[in-house]
Structure 1
Amino acid sequence: MSVAIPFLAFLFAGAFAAYHRLRLAVWAALTACLLLACWLLGASPAATAVAALLVALVALPLLLPGIRKPYITAPLLGFYTRILPPLSDTERTAIESGTVGFEGQLFSGKPDWSQLLSQPKPELTAEEQAYLDGPCEQLCRMVDDWDITHVRADLPPEMWEFVKTQGFFGLNIPKEYGGLGFSALMNHKVIQKLASISSVVSSTVGVPNSLGPAELLMHYGTEEQKRHYLPRLADGTDVPCFALTGPFAGSDATSIPDYGIVAMGEWGGAQVLGIRLTLNKRYITLAPVATLVGVAFRMYDPDGLLGDKPDIGISLALVPADTPGLEIGRRHFPLNTPFQNGPIHGEGVFVPLSQLIGGEDYAGRGWQMLMECLSIGRSITLPSTASGGAKMAAVVTGAYARIRKQFGLSIGRFEGVQEALSRIAGKAYAISALSQATAAAVSRGENPAVPSTIAKYHCTEMGREVVKDAMDVHGGKGIILGPRNYLGRGWQATPISITVEGANIMTRSLMIFGQGAILCHPWVLKEMKAAQLEDPAQRLEEFDKYLFRHIGAAISNAVRAFWYGLTFAKVGRAPGDAYTRRFYRKLDRYSATLAVMADTSMLLLGGKLKFKESLSGRLGDVLSQLYICSAMLKRYQDEGAPEGDQPLLAWAVHDAVNKIETALSLALRNFPIRPMGWLLWLLVFPLGRRAQAPGDRLSRRAAALLMTPCDARARLAEGVFLTPCANNPAGRIDSYLPKVVLAEPVERKFLKALKHSDIEALEFAGQLEEGVREGWITAEERAQLEELRAMTLDAITVDDFDPAELRSAGYARLHGTPGARAAA
């Protein structure tokens, strides 16, 4: 035993130092002290000497720069340069275009939670709240989604006018240029509220306030461009669109085939130097009504009119819609949610160089501009749209499940329905927290490249799952379209959000981890930049500085992952209160695990990792769920840690943790180098997997919140349009819930009496009359039951139509059907 003690002390000191990330010199000193104590206490002198020799062999070469740099760092630099994945200019631009916020801590293996929890609570200004309660509320009251989607296939003229005159197209344009100057958080709140009543209205407002001419002009436009165009965009004089995608260039914007040739041409009656454009675009939102078109194209200068560079690169230009040669085509028809969307074509379209966004200085910098602005759109428009739809579906489906009865019971009492309701509740809570977190990051001045892709992918995917479950709970109510249907268009529109601004399959398998592993990693990007320095001495110095910090962090993460695996993350310091501390520990564990998996994958696979899309997607899932949990815990703290929200938070965290372990399990079982996958499994899951999906008891508690008027339900519904007006059937059903709950005891009493009586009346009204006469219920209770019957009937009634009403105007033109013409 005396022989083993020094080596145990050696291992203990190493593990302790690694777990707490102590410096190498501290580890050496600590180990030396322990070995001295072992020797004094009678441990084997020979074993103690061997252990001390091991400490010296490790510590001295690493602590002495004269030995470390030439004999250790330099060979490792050569090896690193060989395995470094080659990055194209476009990949480098994409990686370096964003900023890193708290997501960088999740890649560190030891998140500094104070960085997250010290961020200010996202709040609107008094002016923003007044606009949300005023013009935004008024716009929602104007919405008749059936009229928009079925009758007109467009917003009515008065709504277009209201949107323009009330500044909805200039939410984020600074006041000095005629806009409202609102924050990104306010942009999120507006889109969320509009999406809860109509996806057509939300997309119409959302696009001009995300990727488009205004956003690009604010970041890169010349002062002359800003002063001319921004006021016109803010007040709706100009309606913008941005033409990026085409038949041969969808998610891969770097392969844009549209081109512009530098040439002389006529503009404003004079001969000027400009670009002659040839373009073929499609899927362009607002194109059919646009007066100002932003165009992405590849710019060429074959005659050397601007210099000696024939291929200038991707550039962006503003083209007025009435420019000769520009043709805005007919409309696309996106899945019965007919927001304005269509193709744009052009041949020989001439614009002067002054129409380049940012002027001639920004020629060829379009890819960088797009990368920096695309993340803004992904951060706000699509996540906010998903949030509005999911929150509306959650509270209204809960109310409907309480109102709708089968077999004498509210359908929400059936466990199968409760399972669906719990999924709706937990995912709506997660979507709400995630969408707000990314909008708040933009409001703080960040450009959250990685969180934006996480938010875009997971908000839209969870939104799809929420509306699927909501449709299942509603049954026939959900599938019969008409003015009373508040889910059908959301169901139809869900694939649109999945597809636009980067298809979700590509976003998950290529972007989240592919970009995050380099941009968010504490050391990788720094090492890459150091390895590419031209001066050899500086290259070695910088690489040495970052490499050994990286190695130390990697060892620490391996120890932390193993320790948390042994203890199931039940031991260790963590922030939070008595309820949430366990969640923070779990996230600490999986942060360390992600860091180990990322380092191992990049080290062993090198440049091949970018082609291992299944592995990349699964590691991206781990990073995403860590970020989602962080957003939910931040929201929970910002709300004052309300006890009522605990079932929603717990359900969503358990669901996320189960997804993390599932993703890790699949990644390890399918790791390209199988023996390493087995070793990593022993490190990550030394005692096996333990995470499970949310249990039945927790699911019942989460479902009950949606069916019961309470503060937690009100917080979940905050920010969506639930005003019970004529054109908002969802708001009406939601408003019925408190009255339905109050009427339930009376209803049970009446039905029990009815069951044991010899009553003759077959109609409900007659039964109520006899019930009052027999004394089962009072006259006031009769009125209460009559109101309950009316509310139930309104909730479950679906629409029906004369066949001619459903025929299109095109059918009327072809067949000359009078009824169809009238309907059209």
Structure 2
Amino acid sequence: MSIAIPFLAFLLVGAIAAYHRLRLPVWAALTATVLVACWLLGASGAATLVAGAITALIAVPLLLPQIRLPFITRPLLGFYTKILPPLSETERTALEAGTVGFEGELFSGKPDWRVLLDQPKPQLSAEEQAFLDGPCEELCRMVNDWDITHVRADLPPEVWEFIKKNKFFGMIVPKEYGGLGFSALANHKVIQKLASVSSVVSSTVGVPNSLGPAELLMHYGTQEQKDHYLPRLADGREIPCFGLTGPWAGSDATSIPDYGIVCMGEWNGARVVGVRLTFEKRYITLAPVATLIGLAFRMYDPDGLIGDKRDIGITLALVPRDTPGVEIGRRHFPLNSPFQNGPIRGKDVFIPLSQLIGGEAYAGKGWQMLVECLSIGRSITLPSTASGGAKLGAVVTGAYARIRKQFGLSVGRFEGVEEALARIGGKAYAISALAQATAAAVARGENPAVPSTIAKYHCTEMAREVATDVMDIHGGKGIILGPRNYAGRNWQALPIMITVEGANIMTRSLMIFGQGAILCHPWVLKEMRAATLPDPDQRLREFDRNLFGHIGFALSNAVRALWFGLTAARFGAAPGDDYTRRFYRKLNRYSAALALMADTSMLLLGGKLKFKESLSGRLGDVLSHLYMTSAMLKRYEDEGRPEADRPLLAWAFHNSIHRTEIALSAALRNFPVRPAGWLLWALIFPLGRRAQAPSDRLGHKIASLLMSPNEARDRLAAGVFTTPTANNPAGRINSYLPKVVLAEPVERKFLKALKTRDIEALSFGEQLDEGVREGWITAEERRQLEELREMTIDAIGVDDFDPEELRSAGYRREQIDNRAAA
């Protein structure tokens, strides 16, 4: 036994040092001290000497630069440069454009939770809140979604005018240019509220405040361009669109075939140097009504009119609608959600160089400009739209499930429906937390490249799942379109969100982990930069510093992953209260597992990793759920740790952790290097997978929460349009819930009387009359039951139409023409 003690001590000290990330000299000193103590306490002298020799063989070469640099670092640098995945200029630009926030901590394997919890609570200014409660509320009251989606296939003129007059298109434009100068958080709140009543209205307002001429002009425009265009964009005199996607270049925006040739041409009566454009774009939101087109194209200068470079690169320009050669105005028809969207074409369209965004100085810098602004659309517009629909779907479906009865029981009491309600409530909580967290990051001045892709993908995917469950619970109410239907159009519109701003399949399999593994990793990007430094001595020194920092990082994560796996993450320092501390510990565990998996994947697969999309997608899922659960915990803390919200938080958290383990398990079982996969499994899941999906008991709590008036339900509904108006059937149904709950005891008493008494009346009104006469109910209770019947009829009612109303105008014209011809 005395022989084993020195070796056990050696391993134990190494594990403790790795877990706590102690520096190499500290580890060496601690190991030497412990080995001396072992010898003094009677351990085998030979074993102690062997353990000391092993320590010296590791420590001495690594601690002495004159040995480490030439004999260890230099060969490893040569190997590294061979496996280093080549980065194209476009990939390099994308990496350098983004900033790293708390997602970097999640990639560290040892998150510093103070970085998250010390972030200021997201709050609107008084002016922003007044806008949300005033013009935004008024706009929601004006919206008739059936009229927009079925009758007009457009917003009515008074809505267009209200949007322009109240500067909804200029929320992000600074006040000095006539805009509202709102924060990204306010932008998120407005889009969320509008989306809860109409996805057409939210997209109409969202796009001008996302990637487009205003955003690009604010960052890169010349002063003359800003002075001219920003005031016009702010007050609606100009309606913008941005042409990026075309038939031959969707997600691969760097391959756009649209081109512009530098030449001389006529502009406003003068002969000037400009660009002659040929382009074909599609799926462009607001294009049919736009007056100002932002356009991405590849710029060429074959005659050297502005320099020596022939292929100048991707460039962005502003093209007025009435420019000769522009074809615009036709519409696409996206899945019965008829927001203004259509193609743009142009051939030999001449514009002067002054119409390039940023002027001639920014010619060829279009890709850099785009990637620096693309994350805004992903961070705000789409997640906010998903949040508005999911939050409204949660509270209204809860009310509907309480009101709608089958077999004398609210349908929400059936366990199958409870399961769906739990999914709706838990995912709505997660979506709203994730959407707000990412908008708050933009508001703090960050450019959250990785969180924006996480938010875009997971908010829209979960919103699609929520919409499916909402439709399932509503049944026939959801599928019969008409003015009473508040669920069907949202369900139809969700695949649009899945598709735009980069298709979700591409976002998950290529972007989240592909970008995050380099940008968020504490060492990889530093190593890549060090390996490409021009000075050989500086390259070796910088690579040495980062390489051994990375090695220590990897060893630490292996030890931490194993320890957390063996102990089920029950121990360790963590923030939070008695309820949430275990949640933070679980996130510490999976953060270490992600970091270990990422390092192993990059080491063994190198440049091939970018083509292993299934592995990349699964690791992206792990990072996404870590970020998402962090956002939930931050929301819980910011709202004062409300006990009533715990079922929502717990369901959403356990659902994410369960899916995290599924993703890790699938990545390990399919790891391309099988022996490495087996070893990683032993480190990450030494006792097997343990995370479970949320329990039925927890689901029952959420279903009850959604079907009863309470503070947690009110917080979940905050920020969406629930005002009960004639044009808002969802708001009316939600407003019925308190009255329905109060009337239920009377209803039960009345139904019991109907079953146990000899009642002659058959109609509901006559039964009420008899009930009052016989003393089963009072006159006041009769009023309650009549009101309950009216509310129930409104809640479950669907629309019907004369067949002629459903025929298109074109069909009716054809029939009229045919009759006239006959």
The equivalent residue for 1:199 is: 199
Letter in 2 for 1:60: V
Partners of 1:174 and 1:69 in 2: CA distance: 53
| Cα distance, 1:127 vs structure 2 | 0.3
Structure 1 contact 629–653 (Cα < 8 Å) conserved? yes
For residues 416-460 of structure 1, what are the alpha-carbon distances to aligned partners after superposition, in whole Å with 9 as ceiling and x for unaligned? Answer: 000000000000000000000000000000000000000000000
Partners of 1:63 and 1:25 in 2: CA distance: 7
The equivalent residue for 1:800 is: 800
Structure 1 contact 812–818 (Cα < 8 Å) conserved? no
The equivalent residue for 2:335 is: 335
For residues 224-267 of structure 1, what are the alpha-carbon distances to aligned partners after superposition, in whole Å with 9 as ceiling and x for unaligned? Answer: 10000000000000000000000001111011000000000001
TM-score after normalising by structure 1 = 0.99
Matched, 1:406 2:406: yes
Partner-residue secondary structure (3-state), 1:111: coil
Structure 1 contact 284–344 (Cα < 8 Å) conserved? yes
For residues 773-795 of structure 1, what are the alpha-carbon distances to aligned partners after superposition, in whole Å with 9 as ceiling and x for unaligned? Answer: 11111111110111001000000
Letter in 1 for 2:551: I
Partner-residue secondary structure (3-state), 2:22: coil
| Cα distance, 1:817 vs structure 2 | 8.0
The equivalent residue for 2:504 is: 504
Once the two structures are superposed, the pairs formed by residues 3-402 of structure 1 within 5 Å of their partners are 3-402=3-402
Structure 2 contact 288–342 (Cα < 8 Å) conserved? yes
| Cα distance, 1:810 vs structure 2 | 1.3
Letter in 2 for 1:289: V
Partner-residue secondary structure (3-state), 2:447: coil
Partners of 2:357 and 2:647 in 1: CA distance: 49
Partners of 2:702 and 2:141 in 1: CA distance: 31
Q: Give the stretch that moved more between structures: 340-349 or 52-61.
A: 52-61
TM-score after normalising by structure 2 = 0.99
The equivalent residue for 2:593 is: 593
The equivalent residue for 1:677 is: 677
Partners of 1:337 and 1:695 in 2: CA distance: 37
The equivalent residue for 1:542 is: 542
For residues 746-770 of structure 1, what are the alpha-carbon distances to aligned partners after superposition, in whole Å with 9 as ceiling and x for unaligned? Answer: 1111111111000000011111111
Partner-residue secondary structure (3-state), 1:575: coil
The equivalent residue for 1:769 is: 769
Letter in 2 for 1:145: D
Partners of 1:399 and 1:240 in 2: CA distance: 40
Structure 1 contact 73–544 (Cα < 8 Å) conserved? yes
The equivalent residue for 2:552 is: 552
Partners of 2:790 and 2:400 in 1: CA distance: 14
The equivalent residue for 2:723 is: 723
Partner-residue secondary structure (3-state), 2:521: coil
Partner-residue secondary structure (3-state), 1:816: helix
| Cα distance, 1:60 vs structure 2 | 1.1
The equivalent residue for 2:703 is: 703
Letter in 2 for 1:402: R
| Cα distance, 1:818 vs structure 2 | 12
Partners of 1:470 and 1:812 in 2: CA distance: 35
Partners of 1:416 and 1:755 in 2: CA distance: 28
Structure 1 contact 327–344 (Cα < 8 Å) conserved? yes
The equivalent residue for 1:658 is: 658
Partner-residue secondary structure (3-state), 1:330: coil
Letter in 2 for 1:418: E
Structure 2 contact 289–329 (Cα < 8 Å) conserved? no
Letter in 1 for 2:126: A
Q: Give the stretch that moved more between structures: 416-425 or 326-335.
A: 326-335
Structure 2 contact 457–504 (Cα < 8 Å) conserved? yes
For residues 332-362 of structure 1, what are the alpha-carbon distances to aligned partners after superposition, in whole Å with 9 as ceiling and x for unaligned? Answer: 0000110000000000000011111011111
The equivalent residue for 1:426 is: 426
Structure 1 contact 110–592 (Cα < 8 Å) conserved? yes
Letter in 2 for 1:27: W
| Cα distance, 1:166 vs structure 2 | 0.2
Runs (4+) of structure 1 exceeding 2 A deviation are none
Aligned-pair RMSD on alpha carbons?
0.9
Letter in 1 for 2:101: G
Partners of 1:363 and 1:174 in 2: CA distance: 25
- For structure 2, list consecutive stretches of 5 or more residues without a partner in the other structure: none
| Cα distance, 1:576 vs structure 2 | 0.6
Q: Give the stretch that moved more between structures: 24-33 or 278-287.
A: 24-33
Structure 1 contact 772–782 (Cα < 8 Å) conserved? yes
Structure 2 contact 195–201 (Cα < 8 Å) conserved? yes
| Cα distance, 1:279 vs structure 2 | 0.2
Partners of 2:477 and 2:238 in 1: CA distance: 41
Partners of 1:436 and 1:219 in 2: CA distance: 24
The equivalent residue for 2:520 is: 520
The equivalent residue for 1:691 is: 691
Partners of 1:695 and 1:250 in 2: CA distance: 42
Structure 2 contact 519–525 (Cα < 8 Å) conserved? yes
Letter in 2 for 1:101: G
Letter in 1 for 2:277: L
Structure 2 contact 412–707 (Cα < 8 Å) conserved? yes
Partners of 1:777 and 1:304 in 2: CA distance: 93
Partner-residue secondary structure (3-state), 2:264: strand
The equivalent residue for 1:647 is: 647
Partners of 2:327 and 2:405 in 1: CA distance: 55
| Cα distance, 1:500 vs structure 2 | 0.3
For residues 533-587 of structure 1, what are the alpha-carbon distances to aligned partners after superposition, in whole Å with 9 as ceiling and x for unaligned? Answer: 0000110111111111111011000000000000111111111110001110110
Partners of 2:571 and 2:816 in 1: CA distance: 77
Partners of 2:301 and 2:477 in 1: CA distance: 60
| Cα distance, 1:813 vs structure 2 | 2.1
Partners of 1:681 and 1:13 in 2: CA distance: 24
Structure 1 contact 295–316 (Cα < 8 Å) conserved? yes
| Cα distance, 1:329 vs structure 2 | 4.2
Partner-residue secondary structure (3-state), 1:776: coil
For residues 789-820 of structure 1, what are the alpha-carbon distances to aligned partners after superposition, in whole Å with 9 as ceiling and x for unaligned? Answer: 1000000000000111111111122222899x
The equivalent residue for 1:752 is: 752
The equivalent residue for 1:570 is: 570
User: Sequence identity, in percent?
Assistant: 80
The equivalent residue for 1:822 is: none
For residues 146-198 of structure 1, what are the alpha-carbon distances to aligned partners after superposition, in whole Å with 9 as ceiling and x for unaligned? Answer: 00000000000011000001000000100001100000000000000000000
Q: Give the stretch that moved more between structures: 804-813 or 270-279.
A: 804-813
Letter in 2 for 1:391: K
Partners of 1:813 and 1:118 in 2: CA distance: 64
Partners of 1:165 and 1:62 in 2: CA distance: 68
Letter in 2 for 1:276: R
Q: Give the stretch that moved more between structures: 544-553 or 131-140.
A: 544-553
Matched, 1:463 2:466: no
Q: Give the stretch that moved more between structures: 460-469 or 565-574.
A: 565-574
Partner-residue secondary structure (3-state), 2:313: strand
The equivalent residue for 1:713 is: 713
Letter in 1 for 2:367: W
Letter in 1 for 2:767: Q
Structure 1 contact 145–197 (Cα < 8 Å) conserved? yes
Partners of 2:702 and 2:207 in 1: CA distance: 34
Partners of 1:379 and 1:700 in 2: CA distance: 33
The equivalent residue for 1:415 is: 415
Partner-residue secondary structure (3-state), 1:297: strand
Partner-residue secondary structure (3-state), 2:308: coil
- For structure 1, list consecutive stretches of 5 or more residues without a partner in the other structure: 820-824
The equivalent residue for 1:473 is: 473
Partner-residue secondary structure (3-state), 2:261: strand
Letter in 2 for 1:453: T
Structure 1 contact 329–345 (Cα < 8 Å) conserved? no
